[in-house]
Amino acid sequence: MMHDAPHIPVLLDEVIAALQPRPGMTIVDATFGAGGYTTALLEAGASVHAFDRDPDAVAAGQALVAQFDGRLALHEARFSAMRAELAAIGVRQVDAVVMDIGVSSMQLDQGERGFAFMQDGPLDMRMSQTGESAADFLNTADEEAIANVLYNYGEERQSRRVARAIVAARPLSTTAELARVVRRALGHKPHDKKDPATRTFQAVRIHVNDELGELEAGLAAAEALLVEGGILAVVSFHSLEDRIVKHFLREASGVGRTVSRHLPADIPATASTFAQVSKAIRPSEAEIARNPRARSSTLRHAVRTGAIPRSLAA
């Protein structure tokens, strides 16, 4: 389903309230996309380093670079590399990092990118437009490997049945072909509330782009980049992502951290690198009405302490 305003940034007011952007601040937008968060941050007077691995997003963002001359730098890179990319240009610390995880509305709406089945297109799904495509994976991986991806990343309970059907139908080359195979394997009724192919498309996309590995590495990079008092804000869209963010912030803030009673008493506990961790923040009904894609979003944010980053303390 296409929406009249498909690029509305999700939970924008809540993100801006958490980051409190102002002149003099340097902020990383780890997932530039269509530039919604970045635009709001620039309009508040902050300087922004924005990252996106999708060359189309970086090309489209050049107009914004020109509009805010000197305050926006666009980096065509994975956000897991933000620390190294910024160090290379002499930026060692930043005041805030915002991350909007997963596929962008812009990518979903372009049938030729192959991220969704609403429009038929090549079975691609690559955010960076390089490396292994969805078709490469599905046409060459063995049945067990496909089933594991569907179960772990799509929470597909009938992953083995779907994997078996995919292997039997190979080669697959389009999103419509994959959707038909999955629907046939699971049984699809036109009045079903959720298309059964949704879980498979999510799983394959996450695998092809290593999205969960990127998230874990990106959180660690943000922890190392943020100044004391800096803000980390992360918007996620499904339980796998939110679980990683929640666990990261719990561990980093010391909430729920356990220390073995068998350890010597003189071994200090790891200092907490984050404090003031927010509860899960979800969109209002009014926002969901304006932007249905906001429905599954969750924001969590926290404040960086002065403790040494755990990646350096280890």
CATH classification (class only), 12-106+211-313: alpha beta
pLDDT reading at 190 higher than 50: yes
Domains 12-106+211-313 and 112-209 share a fold: no
pLDDT at 148: 98
More confident site: 178 or 265: 178
Query: For residue 161, how far is the Cα from the chain centroid?
Result: 28
What mean pLDDT do residues 149-156 have? 96
* Own/partner long-range contacts of 55-60 (Cβ < 8 Å, ≥24 apart): 55/128, 55/129, 56/106, 56/129, 57/32, 57/33, 57/104, 57/106, 58/32, 60/34, 60/35, 60/106
Q: What is the mean pLDDT of the chain?
A: 89
Where are the domains positioned within the chain? 12-106+211-313, 112-209
| pLDDT tens digit sequence for 28-42 | 999 998 899 999 999
Instruction: State the pLDDT at residue 5.
Output: 40
DSSP 308: P
Distance CA 274, CA 235 (A): 17
Fold of 112-209: DNA polymerase; domain 1 (1.10.150)
In the predicted structure, residue 114 carries a pLDDT above the cut 70: no
For the cut 90, the answer to whether the pLDDT of residue 70 exceeds it is no
Task: State the Cα–Cα distance between residues 243 and 240, nearest whole angstrom.
Answer: 5
How much is the average pLDDT of 11-24?
97
194-212: pLDDT as tens digits: 889 999 999 999 999 999 9
